[in-house]
Amino acid sequence: MLSMSTCVAFFILVSSISLGLSEDIQGGLDPFLPPDSQTPQETALEDPEAREVDEDTKQTLVHWLYVISLASFVAAAAGIANILLVSMHQRKKEIGILRAVGISREEVGRLFILDALWMVLMSFIIGVLAGLILSNNIFNWMFVDGRGGMFFAPARTPPVLVLSALVICLFVGAAAAYYPAKKASAMDPVAALRG
């Protein structure tokens, strides 16, 4: 659960920063700045060649952050699958009783998928809150205060970004639960009751 929350927070943070960097590169930072002020980046990069190198560096940074974000989702999926496999082994007798009273294989599998989705949903809520606090408060404060270095820009977090994170989380959770759910549903009721 912690790994998925961290993934969501990191995804929100990376996406918000990348949207801010895209606007920075396109010159759309004016609403964030007080009148007649320049960012530390603008004063340091008056030369067009230096600005082009800075923009390339920002784009490269964003691409690497997305790669790290994707790798963290893969790691979170492995964690969810592992938790569900352990849960399946601990609940063997429970699965055997459910199968003995007439619950179908599909319904047993569905229980494990719902477990995973519930875990992902709780992780999503924690991750979104952490990501929004980091991106829209801390990173924006660092940018306006001039402490962000050349890689930081004001973060933008539109609602579609949060919705995208939810869709990714649900997909990762369902994909991670597929193997444990299939294994649990294929369990022989008599063997499961024996433990």
Mean pLDDT by 10 residues, the chain (195 residues): 78 77 59 48 53 69 79 85 87 86 88 88 89 78 63 73 88 89 85 73
Q: Quick one: pLDDT at residue 35?
A: 46
What is the rounded CA–CA span in Å between residue 190 and residue 174? Answer: 28
Predicted pLDDT at 44? 47
pLDDT of residue 9: 83
CA distances to 62, 83, 103, 131, 188 from 149, in Å:
15, 40, 59, 20, 60
pTM: 0.72
Write down the domain spans for the chain.
2-194
Nearest 5 degrees, angle CA 18-CA 22-CA 23? 120
Question: What is the per-residue pLDDT for 148?
Answer: 56
Angle in degrees, 0-180, between the axes of helices 92-100 and 105-133, rounded to the nearest 10: 130
